[in-house]
């Protein structure tokens, strides 16, 4: 069953040949009317040209008509010419579909240091106007993939007292994933009318609770971008606290789904670790502990090897920077406590965990004491395939 596209949006994909000529590598989403626009971007100091242009656009206007995304060329660390290329690409896109350049939010992904191929961009514009409305969310998600193994999309029909609102989202990313808003791009479309300031604040909160709690390899990209467009085409206005809460909950479910899929599709990944830390002094200590475990290459390779090596988890906790009493720390894997009181459990946990560790989803529960701090992080394992993919990435 195909995911429903919110009312008033049309999607198109095109094959420009930025890196390969055998599949679409350019995607466009157009709203039939101006839409409230939200954006959350990378915290990397080396911001790609489309990130800079997108931020500039949202400072000047809180509405947009379209988002255009290309793969194969990140247009990051390309200087003033990269900025000029990005702006020219918006001009070409606007001319192709009858919009203004300032209506279009850009995003790019691919190899850092590679400028946009403007000749290829021109090829991608051919027939784009006729293609609008012919692509589904699945095709859009597939067109923005790079090393992704599968397209990532999610949608929901939200019922509120005044009627139904549709949300739909796409994301791409498999490597360089540690959003600190990974290479990670995402777009959410919504057919409700929402105040732009409310929409932006909502996106910032939800990004922090979802994408910012997912990691594959600990690398934050130059190009991380999350856009949201809400065009009001459903005729439903979301403006009271209760409905805003419902909309934010739906947005959280969609981005949580996409964040999980990013980790699931981590380059070469076979596992998704859900690392829950509780009992910390405060949330920041819990986050330090979770990220130390999730980024530990030794923990990640142990999970790949289906090895309940609690020593690697405990070692990561001890160097995390979180403040806690070691004798109060407890570690459970797949629901089985294997470490407490500074020593391993007196049971054959290797035998008991042999079957649970065969599964894709691995639960790691860590208690640091009885404080109020807590944090959840999704993390992948580390496999031979990750090294192979990234050793050959530019070849």
- pLDDT tens, residue by residue, 197-216: 999 999 999 999 998 888 87
Q: Which CATH number fits domain 9-264: 3.40.50.850, 3.40.50.1360, 3.60.70.12, 3.40.50.1980?
A: 3.60.70.12
Predicted pLDDT at 175: 60
Every domain of the chain and the residues it spans: 9-264, 272-391
The DSSP secondary structure of 353-375, one letter per residue, reads HTTGGGSSEEEEEEE-SSEEEEE
Distance between CA atoms of 395 and 390, rounded to whole angstroms?
A: 10
The answer, yes or no, to whether residue 177 has pLDDT greater than 90, is no
Predicted pLDDT at 182: 43
Predicted pLDDT at 17: 92
Give the model confidence (pLDDT) of 3-34 as tens digits: 789 999 999 999 999 877 788 999 999 999 99
Give the model confidence (pLDDT) of 247-282 as tens digits: 999 999 999 999 999 888 887 889 999 999 999 999
- Which of 71, 78, 109, 183 is an active site residue? 183
CB 117 within 8 Å of CB 105: no
Nearest Cα to 250, choosing from 156, 163, 169? 156
Distance between CA atoms of 27 and 136, rounded to whole angstroms?
A: 11
Distance between CA atoms of 92 and 122, rounded to whole angstroms?
A: 7
Distance between CA atoms of 282 and 304, rounded to whole angstroms?
A: 31
Q: Annotated catalytic, 183?
A: yes
In this structure, is the dihedral angle defined by the CA atoms of residues 219, 220, 221 and 227, taken in order, positive or negative? Answer: positive
Predicted pLDDT at 181: 46
Predicted pLDDT at 395: 46
**In sequence order, which residues have a C-beta less than 8 Å from that of residue 15 and are 6 or more positions away?**
21, 22, 23, 24, 25, 26, 123, 124
Proportion of the chain above pLDDT 90, given as a percent: 79
SS (H, E, C) 46-68: CCCHHHHHHHHHHHHCCEEEEEE
Predicted pLDDT at 94: 97
Give the model confidence (pLDDT) of 144-173 as tens digits: 998 888 999 999 999 999 999 999 999 998
What's the token pair of residue 356?
């649970």
Predicted pLDDT at 224: 86
The answer, yes or no, to whether residue 189 has pLDDT greater than 60, is yes
Q: Which CATH number fits domain 272-391: 3.40.50.10210, 3.10.20.340, 3.40.50.1220, 1.20.120.1200?
A: 3.10.20.340
Predicted pLDDT at 266: 80
Q: Can you tell me the mean pLDDT for 46-66? A: 95
Mean pLDDT of the chain: 92
CB 107 within 8 Å of CB 67: yes
Predicted pLDDT at 45: 87
The answer, yes or no, to whether residue 39 has pLDDT greater than 60, is yes
Q: Taking the C-alpha atoms of 242, 244, 250 and 253 in order, what is their torsion angle to the nearest 10 degrees?
A: -100
CB 86 within 8 Å of CB 49: yes
Nearest Cα to 167, choosing from 259, 251, 242? 251
What's the token pair of residue 341?
């009181």
Give the model confidence (pLDDT) of 325-366 as tens digits: 999 999 999 999 999 999 999 889 889 999 999 999 999 999
Give the model confidence (pLDDT) of 59-104 as tens digits: 999 999 999 999 989 999 999 999 999 999 999 999 999 999 999 9
């Amino acid at each position: 069953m195909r995911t429903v596209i919110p009312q008033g949006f049309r999607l198109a994909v095109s094959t420009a040949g930025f890196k390969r000529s055998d599949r679409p590598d350019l995607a466009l989403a157009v709203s039939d009317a101006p839409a409230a626009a939200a954006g959350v971007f990378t915290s990397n100091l080396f911001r790609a040209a489309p990130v800079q242009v997108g931020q500039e656009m949202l400072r000047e206007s809180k509405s947009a008509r379209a988002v255009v995304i290309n793969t194969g060329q990140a247009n990051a660390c390309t200087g003033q010419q990269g900025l000029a290329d990005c702006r020219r690409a918006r001009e070409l896109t606007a001319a192709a579909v009858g919009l203004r350049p300032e209506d279009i939010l850009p995003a790019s992904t691919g190899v850092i240091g590679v400028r946009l191929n403007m000749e290829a961009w021109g090829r991608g514009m051919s027939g784009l106007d006729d293609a609008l409305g012919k692509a589904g969310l699945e095709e859009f998600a597939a067109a923005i993939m790079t090393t992704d193994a599968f397209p990532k999309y999610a949608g929901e029909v939200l019922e509120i007292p005044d009627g139904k609102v549709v949300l739909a989202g796409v994301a791409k990313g498999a490597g360089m994933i540690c959003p600190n808003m990974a290479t990670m791009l995402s777009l959410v479309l919504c057919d409700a009318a929402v105040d732009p300031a409310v929409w932006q604040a909502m996106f910032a909160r939800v990004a922090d609770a979802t994408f910012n709690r997912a990691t594959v390899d600990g690398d934050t990209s130059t190009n991380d971008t999350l856009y949201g467009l809400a065009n009001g085409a459903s005729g439903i206005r979301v403006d009271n606290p209760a409905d805003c809460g419902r909309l934010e909950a739906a947005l959280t479910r969609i981005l949580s789904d996409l964040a999980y899929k990013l980790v699931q599709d981590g380059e070469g990944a076979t596992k998704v670790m859900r690392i829950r830390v509780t009992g910390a002094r405060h949330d920041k200590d819990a986050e330090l502990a979770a990220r130390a475990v999730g980024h530990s290459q030794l923990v990640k390779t142990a999970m790949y090897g289906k090895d309940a090596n609690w020593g690697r988890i405990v070692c990561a906790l001890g160097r995390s920077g979180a403040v806690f009493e070691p004798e109060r720390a407890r570690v459970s894997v797949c629901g089985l406590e294997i470490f407490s009181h500074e020593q391993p459990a007196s049971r054959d946990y290797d035998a008991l965990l042999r079957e649970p560790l065969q599964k894709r989803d691995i639960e790691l529960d860590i208690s640091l004491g009885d404080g109020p701090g807590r944090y959840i992080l999704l993390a992948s394992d580390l496999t031979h395939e990750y090294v192979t993919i990234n050793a050959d990435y530019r070849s």
